[in-house]
Amino acid sequence: MVPEATLQALGADLAGLDLVWAEPLLSQLSHDQFAYSPLLAQRLQHCVAQLVVRVHQREELIRVAAQCYRHQVPLTLRGAGTGNYGQCVPLEGGLVLDCSGLDQVRHFDPASGVLTAEPGCRLLELDRFLQPQGWALRLSPSTWRSASLGGYIAGGSSGVGSLRWGLLRDRGNLLGLELVSLEAEPRLLQLGPIEAQAHNHAYGTNGIFTAVTVPTAPWQDWQELVLELPDRPTALALGEELSAAALEIDELCYLERRLLERMPDLAGAPAVAGDRLLLLASPAAVPLIEPLSRAAGGQLLWQRPQWPPRGLLLRELCWNHTTLQLRAHDPNFTYQVVLLPEPATAFIEALEARWPGWLHWHLERIRQGGRPRWVGLPLFRWQGEAQLEQLNSAFRQAGGLLFNSHVLSVEAGGSGEVAADQLAAKANYDPCGLLNPGKLRA
Ligand SMILES: Cc1cc2nc3c(=O)[nH]c(=O)nc-3n(C[C@H](O)[C@H](O)[C@H](O)COP(=O)(O)OP(=O)(O)OC[C@H]3O[C@@H](n4cnc5c(N)ncnc54)[C@H](O)[C@@H]3O)c2cc1C
């Protein structure tokens, strides 16, 4: 924690800005959705900023950066606060900088679809801006309505669009950044796609974004589709067949019946009678998806255009919204993330043999290393840390690649390795280690 005298001096130097000193706002703006993990909840619920600053202009942000450096106060960045791993939680107190007020589109090129926008722009608002011009974001989380562009690039991983465009950190999904360093005289840097990559999924530990440049994709009238299938192997086989075909599919999610029965219904969708695949597919893909579903012994149950977004969206049953919906029903549920080996059914059978019925299966089809793969976000009732460790080991033994959702650091949640480019950028742009301390372990 920062000594009170230092904090008061910092506050005085930031006079005139939108400062938050008092509860309950201090706590609200210090936390994200870490409660999905009982381990993180225990670790993070008492971490609160000593001061929050809400900035509305780039110059204000640069002023905050300079003063935090001058007073050597930890600075943690915040977008919309929808992260799941405490990415924007200040572990060492200090100042939280809320970037959600930086919400202007800087530039859009309708010929190439390249978009430059400030980090606080909400993703759905960006799509509302792009749609009339015939373009759409390539990737967006299921928190499309609330999450910010900067928070998604710094803290997100994948989402709707990942079957076509891969993971957020795959090269090509971030084309540039305007970045502020944390130094006596903060530098304002324009980074191209190669240099920007060191800041992609770095939890705001190695520079502050003031603008983000991303490619977009031609707009499609994506159709929300619900397919019901007789059992899991049939559903997974159909999902694999569809994702291997020459079809435009932006989202493909498998949910087992037990999960669906505890989740809210999409408007007008028939009652659940089996496992389901939830898809966002182009209109041209539907005439093939329908007969392929029937040939597999299932059926296309329900269809609706995604745009304009109204009511409960199909994507709000997918990705970590599945976890949200189930936890609304029973808050003892948590989840883990694992990339499944092939064949996925053998992996699931190995886990089922060990803990019959404990895991509730939720899988997402993504493109990983250029190939379609299943990533699992299985849900289970929390039974303590030792049980989680056993589960993690069982995932690894069965050939899965774990993306641990119950850890705090950039490295621990990913491959476990330190990305050299992220570290070099940390040394270069945050030489005193003040940005989001504790999250880049190395
Ligand atoms: C129900 C639910 C569903 C979700 N689904 C998905 C999903 O489908 N895919 C997915 O990837 N994630 C998902 N998430 C996690 C989260 O919603 C997303 O990653 C989201 O994009 C984070 O954006 P945010 O604006 O809330 O960022 P925040 O949580 O506020 O911040 C995320 C990180 O970005 C950093 N940051 C913020 N602003 C800046 C800046 N200006 N410069 C540098 N760093 C900055 C923060 O320090 C923090 O480390 C889900 C979460 C929930 C609760």
For 199-216, what is each residue's pLDDT tens digit?
999 999 999 999 999 999
Give Cβ neighbours of residue 68 (< 8 Å, ≥ 6 apart). Answer: 10, 74, 75, 94, 95, 182, 434
Give pLDDT, residue 126. 98
- Ligand 1 contact, 178 CB (< 6 A): no
In ligand 1, the atom with minimum distance to the C-alpha of 210 is 41
Q: Considering only CA atoms, which of 176, 210, 203 is closest in space to residue 62?
A: 210
Task: For ligand 1, atom 20, name the residue with the nearest CA.
Answer: 152
- pLDDT for residue 137 is more than 70: yes
In ligand 1, the atom with minimum distance to the C-alpha of 76 is 47
For residues 423-437, one letter each, b for 16 or more C-beta atoms within 10 angstroms of the residue's C-beta and e for the rest, the string is bebbebbbeeebbbb
- pLDDT for residue 131 is more than 90: yes
In ligand 1, the atom with minimum distance to the C-alpha of 209 is 42
pTM: 0.98
- pLDDT for residue 413 is more than 80: no
pLDDT band at 98 (very low <50, low <70, confident <90, very high): very high
CA of 81 from ligand 1 middle (Å) equals 6
Give Cβ neighbours of residue 105 (< 8 Å, ≥ 6 apart). Answer: 115, 116, 117, 118, 121, 126, 129
pLDDT band at 416 (very low <50, low <70, confident <90, very high): low
Give Cβ neighbours of residue 264 (< 8 Å, ≥ 6 apart). Answer: 312, 317, 325
Instruction: Give the distance from CA 27 to its chain's centroid.
Output: 22
CA of 132 from ligand 1 middle (Å) equals 26
- pLDDT for residue 68 is more than 80: yes
pLDDT band at 396 (very low <50, low <70, confident <90, very high): very high
Q: Which residue has the tokens 């990559």?
A: 197
- pLDDT for residue 264 is more than 80: yes
Q: How far is CA 62 from CA 149, 178, 183, 200, 208, in A?
A: 19, 12, 10, 21, 9
Specify the amino acid at residue 132.
P
Q: Does domain 4-98 have CATH number 1.10.4080.10?
A: no
- Ligand 1 contact, 437 CB (< 6 A): no
Task: For ligand 1, atom 41, name the residue with the nearest CA.
Answer: 209
| Mean pLDDT to the nearest integer, 95-102 | 98
| Mean pLDDT to the nearest integer, 162-174 | 97
Mean pLDDT value across the chain = 97
Q: Considering only CA atoms, which of 65, 133, 125, 37 is closest in space to residue 436?
A: 65
CA of 156 from ligand 1 middle (Å) equals 5
- Ligand 1 contact, 438 CB (< 6 A): no
- Ligand 1 contact, 359 CB (< 6 A): no
User: What is d(CA 286, CA 203) in angstroms, rounded to the nearest whole number?
Assistant: 38
Give pLDDT, residue 222. 98
Residue among 60, 95, 122, 143 to mutate when testing ligand 1 (max atoms within 8 A of CB) = 143
Task: For ligand 1, atom 36, name the residue with the nearest CA.
Answer: 151
The C-alpha angle 175, 177, 181, rounded to 5 degrees, equals 155
- pLDDT for residue 229 is more than 80: yes
- pLDDT for residue 185 is more than 90: yes
User: What is d(CA 260, CA 275) in angstroms, rounded to the nearest whole number?
Assistant: 8
**The token pair that represents 412 in the structure block:** 């621990």
User: What is d(CA 309, CA 399) in angstroms, rounded to the nearest whole number?
Assistant: 38
**The token pair that represents 138 in the structure block:** 């390539």
CA of 82 from ligand 1 middle (Å) equals 5
Task: For ligand 1, atom 7, name the residue with the nearest CA.
Answer: 141
- pLDDT for residue 424 is more than 70: yes
| CATH 3.30.43.10 residue window(s) in the chain | 4-98
- Ligand 1 contact, 32 CB (< 6 A): yes
User: What is d(CA 229, CA 241) in angstroms, rounded to the nearest whole number?
Assistant: 14
CA of 209 from ligand 1 middle (Å) equals 14
pLDDT band at 412 (very low <50, low <70, confident <90, very high): confident
Give pLDDT, residue 138. 98
Residue among 152, 169, 375 to mutate when testing ligand 1 (max atoms within 8 A of CB) = 152
User: What is d(CA 312, CA 388) in angstroms, rounded to the nearest whole number?
Assistant: 32
Which of 3.30.465.10, 1.10.287.3510, 3.40.1010.20, 3.40.50.920 would CATH assign to domain 105-219? 3.30.465.10
Beta strand 188-191 pairing with 176-180: antiparallel
- The burial class, CB within 10 Å (0-12 / 13-18 / 19+), for 364 is buried
CB atoms within 10 A of CB 322: 26
Task: For ligand 1, atom 4, name the residue with the nearest CA.
Answer: 320
pLDDT digits (tens, 9 = 90+) for 295-331: 999 999 999 999 999 999 999 999 999 999 999 999 9
- Ligand 1 contact, 90 CB (< 6 A): no
| CATH 3.30.465.10 residue window(s) in the chain | 105-219
Q: List, in sequence order, every residue forming a beta bridge with 54; answer none if it has no partner.
A: 18, 98
Q: How far is CA 157 from CA 30, 62, 77, 167, 200, in A?
A: 21, 27, 17, 6, 9
- Ligand 1 contact, 81 CB (< 6 A): yes
Find out whether the peptide bond into 3 is cis, omega within 30 degrees of 0: no
| Mean pLDDT to the nearest integer, 242-254 | 98
| Mean pLDDT to the nearest integer, 53-77 | 98
Q: Considering only CA atoms, which of 341, 343, 323 is closest in space to residue 333?
A: 323
Collapse the DSSP code of 4 into the 3-class scheme (helix H, G, I; strand E, B; otherwise coil) and give the result.
helix
CA of 133 from ligand 1 middle (Å) equals 26
